Amino acid sequence: MEVYNTGESDLIISNLEINGTDSSHFTIGSNSCIGASKIPGELCFINISFSPYFTGTKTANLTIYTNVGNFDVPLSGNAGNCVSILGDINNNNSISAFDGAMVLQAVVGSINLTNEQKCAADVNENSSISAYDSALLLKCVVGNCSGLPQNFLTSCTNHGNCL
């Protein structure tokens, strides 16, 4: 992202911050803006990365703090669909109690999941991982398929115990 000083005086950017509902999917990388004084007409660069781990459109704001005021820049990205099997957190082409245990361990902070694992762990597809996702996984493991979300039911039929 390029930031131009379109004003008539020097621009000093003191800080950058990503905020908003989906802010965890965006990160600020290298930049040539913070702390540098930019004369009128000069520009600097900010690298923003988008690393989604749930499907759908993600939005946030980049707030640029300057000596002449703060500016909000909207950010958005489309995460597309998961490439992994919904419910198969350990990526072994099947849904097991171990997958449910991994979800619970992630919920309590004992382990960190990769983005692909987070996508597979969100079996109720609400863009968060909770003990409810683990409960749905365990229903699949024991063959209790009633009430499973449709996309997960398909995955459980193909890779779990729902027939």
The domain in which residue 59 lies consists of 2-78
- Overall average pLDDT of the 64-68 stretch: 95
Specify whether 72 is located in the same domain as 105: no
Contacts of 6 (CB under 8 A, 6+ apart): 40, 41
Is pTM beyond 0.85? Reply is: no
Could you give the strand order of the β-sheet that contains 57-66, starting from the edge strand earlier in sequence?
37-38, 11-19, 57-66, 69-78
Q: What percentage of the chain has pLDDT greater than the value 70? A: 96
pLDDT of 133-153, one tens digit each? 999 999 999 999 888 888 888
Specify whether 67 is located in the same domain as 103: no
Last residue of a domain, one of 78, 110, 131: 78
